[in-house]
Amino acid sequence: MAFSPECCAHHTSARRPAGHGECTDVEQPVLEITDLSVTYNGVVEAVRGVSFAVPRGACVAMLGSNGAGKTTVLRAVSGNLARHRAEVVSGRVVVEGQDLAGRSMSDVVAAGVVQVPEGRRILGRLTVEENLRIGGIRRGRRSWASSRDRVFALFPRLAERRQQLGLLLSGGEQQMLAIGRALMSGPQLLMLDEPSLGLAPQVVEQVAGVIAQINREGTSVLLVEQNTAMAFSVATSAVVLELGAVSLAGPTAELAGTDTVKELYLGHTGRDSAPAGGPAVQPLAPWRGSAPAGRWAW
């Protein structure tokens, strides 16, 4: 499915603060993945021919069942494949005009991409403030303090617990700290892997609100999430992976009306029901090839 420049402008302008301009079909996306294929141990092909883009200022969700290849795509972008005995065998991962496929994690962070991994992985024997300091280690003292204050504004609970050890935080507070630590480096693209995993519903709602606010303030977001309702509440576009390949892609408002997404990801069983507040959305055709002109544009 091809998307028009008008669609692209709609989805990015809705997420950008005033003054950031509008997206067009020629504006360079913050992340562009083209024909990406990844293997584990040189044998198992976990991702094959994946192509999509994250426009500057957008929030894009990546959906799929366990084993669909979502985490592998994030690892390919973040430079975290080698430690998992995986490698990019073909394709491009372009961030801010640089092809970072196969590059180191430090190169990727320097390019402005930071990932919050599944399971949070904070440093439990360090305090909240020490965890944040590590996240902003590349920044000067004044810039670090400004970033810390922004994190505390997003997560007042962390400000209250700034001297508490990470291992003593609740699961929700640890997730807040993991996101806050990632923000300390001032990323252009924030990648989140299952941020709602294991959290109480009210905490999931709070985390979703913060992700939306981060995106509104200008940070592009790539969100991997099993909780599709939560993902659709913050993302304007989505990519669905099946068996390592893109099967559907498009605006979340349209994907939410497809039978596949309704039945497999949103828990709906009716095939002809209309989404709330409007007529039924026509199902999207399954993805059958590479992205037009080398990328998706939303």
Domain annotation covers residue 143 = no
d(CA 176, CA 93): 28
Domain annotation covers residue 13 = yes
Q: Residue 283: its pLDDT value, please?
A: 34
Domain annotation covers residue 290 = yes
Domain annotation covers residue 49 = yes
Domain annotation covers residue 174 = no
Q: Residue 247: its pLDDT value, please?
A: 92
Structural domains of the chain, count: 1
Domain annotation covers residue 168 = no
What pLDDT, in 10s, does the model give residues 233-283?
A: 999 999 999 999 999 999 999 998 888 777 766 665 443 333 333 333 333
Domain annotation covers residue 51 = yes
Other beta carbons within 10 Å of 16? 19
Model pTM score = 0.79
**Residue 74 maps to which CATH number?**
3.40.50.300
Q: Residue 96: its pLDDT value, please?
A: 87
Per cent of the chain over pLDDT 70 is: 78
Average pLDDT of span 7-36 = 57
The DSSP bridge pattern shows strands 86-95 and 98-99 to be: antiparallel
Looking at residue 178, its amino acid is A
**Burial of 269: CB neighbours in 10 Å, binned 0-12, 13-18, 19+:** exposed
CA 75 from centroid of its chain's CA atoms: 12
Sign, CA dihedral 112-75-284-236, equals negative
Q: Residue 141: its pLDDT value, please?
A: 65
Average pLDDT of span 35-62 = 96
When the pLDDT of each residue in the chain is averaged and rounded to a whole number, the result is 81
**Whole domain around residue 41: which residue ranges?**
5-120+188-294
What pLDDT, in 10s, does the model give residues 197-223?
A: 889 999 999 999 999 999 999 999 999
Which residues make beta-bridge pairs with 115?
191
Q: Is the per-residue pLDDT at 296 higher than 70? A: no
Domain annotation covers residue 235 = yes
3-state secondary structure 111-134: CCEEEECCCCCCCCCCEHHHHHHH
d(CA 84, CA 41): 9
Average pLDDT of span 223-231 = 91
Q: State the Cα angle at 134 between 129 and 137, rounded to 5°.
A: 120
Q: Residue 30: its pLDDT value, please?
A: 96
Helices 171-183 and 141-154, axial angle in degrees (round to 10): 140
What pLDDT, in 10s, does the model give residues 75-116?
A: 999 999 999 999 999 999 999 889 999 898 989 999 999 999
